[in-house]
């Protein structure tokens, strides 16, 4: 539950630091005193969007910090799942800078607004007047049934199946669309594939063909050059080999009288052997090379085919053409097998839909039981609130197609009169009736969900007298059941029932206006209630009436 709230430089609040007690507390104050500002600050702690205009004029940043006692609410799983340090006291802090930057912290650890919002929903429920409009929203009504049904596990199982079914259906639709498009393109794909297959391409052949074409084009020059090289090496008269042999023989003749000549002779012999081998290879290559116009035409024709295919398909290599050929083959194979894949997916979608509808029925049964309980509890709660002839009915229907929350439709029907026709609650209920219905709904939910703190912002609008007393009974009962309830009210009947009473007020100085909140003493409570009863002028009768109201809580 909320233990303390600290606000600095937010709107009209320069600095505020206030502690709160458990049980039922009330906050009062004149219109415009700053109650909505405090709620706005709490909203920032619950992950609401920040506005730099909220920063107090002249300040560089504002800070909102709240301390909660969470020791009795089993919130360790949230902290573990979000890798946050858990302590029995949880601190939420939000900092908003004039630059527009916003920072959030949970137990002094930086956190995302999504994390803060998720945790905030576990810690505190702020009910403002506009939330009364939720009574006619199907999502809210369905959530009420789920809370009373305690069907979290069943709903999670349903949503898993629903998401699987929806994904499978999307996959099926995409596959059917692709298959239809592929069939439209089948003739084109088959023609391209056949053309590439007929080309009978092999990886690396382009480079080999280009080298062969270059050689065939210059065959005569190559053959002439090899012939000349052979003549230089091996001519009968003046050839290199013959001259080298003479040199070797000369050195051999000198080695008996000149020792180094023997080593030189051996080296010349090695050179002679190597050059003779080269001479033979030159002669062989000369025999291999021939001018072959027919083969050159064949090579050029093959290259032209490759080049034309590359240009057509906008690629640069045979390897890319082979990859494209494989892709066309796979596409044709997919077209051939698409009917089987579609049939398989259709069966999967059908099976998942069967599971979805079966699990939706489980939810429907749980919600139907909860609906009867809602009807029973709402009648029991509304009769003491001045609606002796109230009828409250939960109308349930079935969607044409299951949705993310199941197959059920929910509608809260209401009539406050014996002869009234049951209709949508927002269509027939007055403002005061809606406030009483909403308080009853909140009290009913509070009995089913262990929410630490509930804040009611003028939920008593449109009621007075005895009905206000009964509404105070409900809020006080909620506060007595290990729950913290804070009511912002203008009614003295409700204000007198709080275990603690806080007053919001404004003070002006020469240059600015500040909003404050403080806890009232017993004597101050009497005066505050007397003002609420009689207005600005205090009368003894109002003071006595205020004392009488306070005795109701003693």
In the predicted model, is pLDDT for residue 422 greater than 50? Answer: yes
Per residue in 161-215, pLDDT (tens digit) is 999 999 999 999 998 888 887 777 778 888 999 999 999 999 999 999 999 898 8
Q: What is the reported pLDDT for 134?
A: 60
Q: What is the reported pLDDT for 130?
A: 54
Residue 136 pLDDT class (50, 70, 90 cuts)? low
Residue 553 pLDDT class (50, 70, 90 cuts)? very low
Helix, strand, coil abundance in the chain, percent, nearest 5: 60, 20, 20
DSSP state of 104: E
Per residue in 225-278, pLDDT (tens digit) is 988 988 888 887 778 888 888 898 899 889 888 889 989 999 999 999 999 999
- Stretch (H or E) spanning 119: helix 113-123
Per residue in 319-330, pLDDT (tens digit) is 999 999 999 888
- Cα distance between residue 554 and residue 257, in whole Å: 143
Over range 302-306, report the average pLDDT: 93
Let me know the angle formed at the C-alpha of 79 by 77 and 80, rounded to the nearest 5 degrees.
65
In the predicted model, is pLDDT for residue 131 greater than 60? Answer: no
Over range 23-37, report the average pLDDT: 88
Q: What is the reported pLDDT for 106?
A: 93
Residue 540 pLDDT class (50, 70, 90 cuts)? confident
Among 154-158, 169-173, 416-420, the range scoring the smallest mean pLDDT is 416-420
Q: For residue 545, how many other CB atoms are within 10 A of its CB?
A: 18
Strands across the sheet with 61-69, in order? 13-19, 2-10, 61-69, 89-97, 102-106, 109-110
Among 327-341, 360-374, 494-508, 536-550, the range scoring the smallest mean pLDDT is 327-341
Cβ pair 149, 369 in contact under 8 A: yes
Structure tokens at 484: 């913290």
Q: Residue 5 forms beta bridges with which residues?
A: 18, 66
Residue 554 pLDDT class (50, 70, 90 cuts)? very low
Of residues 508 and 502, more confidently modeled: 502
Mean pLDDT rounded to a whole number for the chain: 88
Cβ pair 391, 420 in contact under 8 A: yes
Pairing of strands 513-519, 500-508: antiparallel
- Stretch (H or E) spanning 125: strand 124-127
Q: Whole-model pTM above 0.75?
A: no
Q: Which of 118, 98, 110 is nearest to 46 (CA)?
A: 118
Query: Hey, where are the domains in the chain?
Result: 179-332
Q: How large a percentage of the chain has pLDDT more than 70?
A: 97
Separation in Å, CA 430 to CA 132, 137, 375, 421, 435: 11, 17, 20, 15, 9
Cβ pair 434, 426 in contact under 8 A: yes
In the predicted model, is pLDDT for residue 79 greater than 70? Answer: yes
Burial class for 527, CB neighbours closer than 10 Å (0-12, 13-18, 19+): middle
Residue 469 pLDDT class (50, 70, 90 cuts)? confident
Cβ pair 173, 345 in contact under 8 A: no
Q: What is the reported pLDDT for 167?
A: 95
Strands across the sheet with 124-127, in order? 124-127, 453-457, 484-488, 24-28, 500-508, 513-519
In the predicted model, is pLDDT for residue 289 greater than 90? Answer: no
In three-state form (DSSP H/G/I as H, E/B as E, the rest C), the secondary structure along 335-388 is HHHHHHHHHHHHHHHHHHHHHHHHHHHHHHHHHHHHHHHHHHHHHHHHHHHCCC
């Amino acid at each position: 539950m909320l233990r303390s709230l600290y606000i600095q430089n937010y709107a009209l609040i320069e600095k505020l630091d206030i502690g709160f007690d458990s049980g039922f507390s009330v906050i009062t104050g004149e219109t415009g005193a700053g109650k909505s500002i405090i709620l706005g600050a709490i909203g920032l702690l619950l992950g609401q969007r920040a506005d730099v205009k909220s920063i107090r004029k002249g300040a560089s940043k504002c800070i909102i910090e709240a301390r909660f006692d969470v020791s009795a609410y089993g919130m360790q799983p949230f902290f573990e799942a979000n890798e946050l340090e858990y302590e029995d006291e949880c601190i939420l802090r939000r900092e908003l800078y004039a630059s527009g930057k916003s920072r959030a912290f949970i137990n002094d650890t930086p956190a995302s607004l999504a994390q803060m919002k998720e945790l905030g929903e576990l810690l505190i429920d702020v009910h403002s007047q506009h939330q009364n409009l939720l009574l006619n929203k199907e999502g809210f009504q369905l959530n009420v049934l789920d809370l009373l049904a305690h069907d979290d596990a069943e709903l999670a199982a349903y949503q898993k199946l629903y998401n699987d079914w929806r994904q499978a259906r999307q996959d099926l639709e995409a596959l059917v669309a692709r298959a239809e498009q592929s069939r439209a393109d089948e003739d084109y794909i088959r023609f391209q594939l056949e053309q590439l297959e007929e080309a009978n391409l092999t990886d690396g052949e382009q480079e080999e063909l280009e080298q062969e074409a270059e050689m065939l084009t210059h065959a005569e020059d190559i053959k002439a050059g090899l012939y000349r090289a052979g003549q230089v090496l091996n001519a009968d008269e003046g050839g290199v080999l013959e001259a080298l042999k003479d040199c070797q023989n000369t050195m051999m003749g000198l080695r008996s009288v000149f020792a180094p000549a023997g080593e030189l002779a051996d080296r010349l012999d090695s050179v002679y052997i190597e050059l003779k081998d080269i001479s033979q290879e030159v002669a062989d290559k000369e025999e291999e090379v021939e001018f072959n116009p027919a083969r050159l035409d064949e090579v050029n024709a093959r290259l032209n085919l490759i080049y034309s295919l590359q240009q057509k398909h906008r690629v640069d290599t045979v390897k890319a053409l082979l990859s494209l050929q494989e892709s066309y083959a796979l596409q044709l194979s997919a077209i051939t097998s698409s009917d089987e894949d579609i049939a398989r997916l259709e069966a999967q979608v059908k099976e998942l839909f069967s599971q979805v509808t079966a699990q939706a029925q489980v939810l429907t049964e749980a919600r139907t039981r909860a609906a009867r309980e809602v009807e029973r509890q709402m009648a029991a709660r509304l009769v003491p609130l001045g609606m002796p002839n109230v009828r409250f009915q939960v109308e349930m229907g079935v969607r044409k197609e299951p949705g993310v929350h199941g197959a059920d439709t929910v509608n809260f029907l209401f009539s406050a009169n014996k002869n009234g026709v049951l209709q949508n609650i927002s269509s027939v209920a007055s403002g005061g009736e809606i406030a009483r219905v909403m308080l009853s709904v909140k009290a009913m939910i509070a009995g089913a969900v262990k929410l630490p703190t509930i804040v009611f912002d003028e939920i008593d609008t449109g009621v007075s007298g005895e009905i206000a007393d009964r509404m105070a009974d409900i809020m006080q009962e909620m506060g007595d059941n290990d729950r913290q309830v804070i009511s912002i009210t203008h009614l003295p009947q409700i204000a007198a029932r709080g275990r603690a009473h806080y007053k919001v007020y404004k003070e002006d100085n020469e240059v600015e206006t500040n909003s404050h909140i403080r806890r009232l003493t017993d004597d101050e409570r009497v005066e505050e209630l007397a003002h609420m009863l009689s207005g600005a002028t205090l009368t003894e009768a109002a003071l006595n009436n205020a004392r009488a109201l306070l005795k109701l809580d003693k």
